[in-house]
């Protein structure tokens, strides 16, 4: 059995890692940290956890100093993960970092979007963990930066268009919508049921940090500078992201040719579904699964290509992708533990 640690085990991505790994045939979660529940058993925090696989939550500091396992997941806020990664790497573990701390290649970009970084060399060492783009590098890596939830939906949704001569992908307009778990686990007024339920609104309209990842990856893909116009919105659901993306046509192409480009691009990908024409991505159809649903349409009246993507932000947008990365890194079947159907309804 592969032994896995979860730093930050009681946040939403931490508990989702446990849910997924629980059903994984080759992994056992052997330890985890929690700031708020240090010293308690997992089952005291989540009564649904079984006694058989229960364990006592430790402090981050303690776990960092005694990381006796094969792999570690960093389900920590940005800034915090950077301080933990090096000692755990040096203890010989492979690391999947779910924070933003290793996603950017350019330390200056990190500083601009996030502020100071306590261990900037990590950024060079890490691989951006989107298997659909970087599978082979992930296989070699000991440190993988798990992508952000919004960037996952946007990069997967745009990648097949990037090398089409007919579509201008240099300045996409991206209108994204996310369920509330994306804001993390905690008691804040703006994510309380009465303030966020029955509402819908944009937020961080200018300068959301995830833009940096999208632009880094799309620029590499397309070999020209990409600038993303990005607006996130909050949906009153727990899980799910839909990104709707708009790109101008440069030359004539048909809707069906666009769809075929998606099908071809993702032909071998186990978690991507290109939907039939006229069917559109719906968070309710990916909830709880590692799938990404894609659709593309051509608006001939305005000369605009509309690409759409849906994922569960906690699965393909975080913990599911992290397990997919781990599977690749340790050499087990890439889909192990991740084949479950969505929970519908």
Binding to a second copy, residues 142-161 (CB under 8 A): none
* 44 lines the binding site for a second copy (CB under 8 A): yes
Query: Among 180, 218, 326, 329, which residue interacts with a second copy (rule: CB under 8 A)?
Result: 180
Query: Among 280, 330, 332, 336, which residue interacts with a second copy (rule: CB under 8 A)?
Result: 280
* 109 lines the binding site for a second copy (CB under 8 A): no
Coil, helix or strand for 232? Answer: strand
* 40 lines the binding site for a second copy (CB under 8 A): no
Residues 60-99 that bind a second copy (CB under 8 A): none
Polymer length in residues for the chain: 345
* 344 lines the binding site for a second copy (CB under 8 A): yes
- What is the distance between the alpha carbons of residues 163 and 142, in angstroms, rounded to a whole number? 30
In the complex, minimum distance from the CB of residue 34 to a second copy, in angstroms, rounded to a whole number = 13
- What is the distance between the alpha carbons of residues 58 and 38, in angstroms, rounded to a whole number? 5
Question: Measuring CA to CA, how many Å separate 260 from each of 96, 104, 154, 168, 343?
Answer: 33, 31, 19, 18, 28
Q: 245: which residues sit within 8 A by CB, 6+ positions away?
A: 154, 157, 158, 172, 173, 174, 175, 306, 307, 308, 309
Question: Measuring CA to CA, how many Å separate 193 from each of 137, 284, 293?
Answer: 42, 20, 28
Could you tell me the end-to-end alpha-carbon distance of the chain, in angstroms, rounded to an integer? 34
* 229 lines the binding site for a second copy (CB under 8 A): yes
Annotation marks residue 149 as catalytic: yes
* 253 lines the binding site for a second copy (CB under 8 A): no
- Using an 8 Å Cβ cutoff, are 224 and 255 in contact? no
* 39 lines the binding site for a second copy (CB under 8 A): no
Size of the site for a second copy (CB under 8 A): 88
* 341 lines the binding site for a second copy (CB under 8 A): yes
Residue listed under structure tokens 């994510």? 191
* 276 lines the binding site for a second copy (CB under 8 A): yes
Query: Among 78, 134, 287, 316, which residue interacts with a second copy (rule: CB under 8 A)?
Result: 287
Residues 304-333 that bind a second copy (CB under 8 A): 304, 306, 308, 310
* 268 lines the binding site for a second copy (CB under 8 A): no
Contacting range for a second copy; rule: CB under 8 A; set: 55-63, 78-86, 100-108, 186-194: 186-194
In the complex, minimum distance from the CB of residue 236 to a second copy, in angstroms, rounded to a whole number = 6
Which two tokens mark 76?
């920590």
96 vs 310 by CB, closer to a second copy = 310
Please confirm whether the linkage preceding 345 is cis (ω < 30° from 0). yes
Catalytic positions, please? 149
């Amino acid at each position: 059995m592969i032994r896995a640690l979860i730093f930050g085990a009681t946040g939403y991505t931490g508990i989702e890692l446990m849910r997924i790994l629980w059903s994984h045939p080759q992994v056992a979660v052997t330890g985890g940290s929690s700031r708020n529940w240090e010293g308690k058993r997992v089952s005291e925090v989540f009564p649904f956890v079984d006694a058989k696989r229960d364990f006592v939550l430790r402090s981050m500091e303690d776990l960092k100093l005694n990381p006796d396992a094969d792999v570690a997941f960093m389900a920590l806020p940005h800034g915090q993960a950077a301080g933990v990664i090096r000692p755990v790497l040096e203890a010989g573990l492979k690391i999947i970092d779910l924070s933003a701390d290793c996603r950017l290649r350019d330390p200056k970009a990190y500083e601009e979007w996030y502020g100071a970084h306590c261990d900037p060399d990590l950024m060079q060492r890490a691989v951006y963990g989107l298997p659909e783009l970087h599978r082979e590098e992930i296989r070699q890596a000991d440190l993988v930066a798990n992508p952000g939830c919004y960037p996952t939906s946007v990069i997967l949704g745009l990648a097949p268009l990037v090398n089409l001569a007919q579509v201008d992908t240099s300045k996409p307009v991206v209108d994204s919508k996310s369920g509330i778990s994306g804001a993390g686990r905690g008691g804040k007024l703006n994510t309380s049921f009465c303030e966020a339920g029955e509402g819908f609104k944009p937020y961080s309209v200018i300068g959301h940090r995830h833009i940096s990842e999208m632009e880094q990856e799309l620029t590499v893909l397309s070999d020209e500078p990409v600038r993303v116009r990005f607006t996130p919105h909050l949906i009153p659901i727990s899980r799910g992201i839909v990104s709707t993306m708009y790109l101008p046509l440069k030359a004539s192409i048909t809707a069906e040719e666009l769809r075929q480009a998606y099908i071809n691009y993702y032909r071998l990908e186990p978690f991507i579904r290109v939907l039939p024409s006229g069917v559109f991505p719906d968070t309710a159809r990916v909830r709880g699964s590692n799938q990404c649903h894609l659709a593309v349409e051509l608006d001939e009246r305005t000369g605009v290509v509309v690409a759409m993507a849906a994922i569960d932000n906690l699965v393909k947008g975080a913990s599911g992708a992290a397990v997919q990365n781990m599977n690749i890194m340790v050499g087990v079947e890439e889909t192990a533990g991740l084949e479950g159907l969505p929970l519908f309804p």
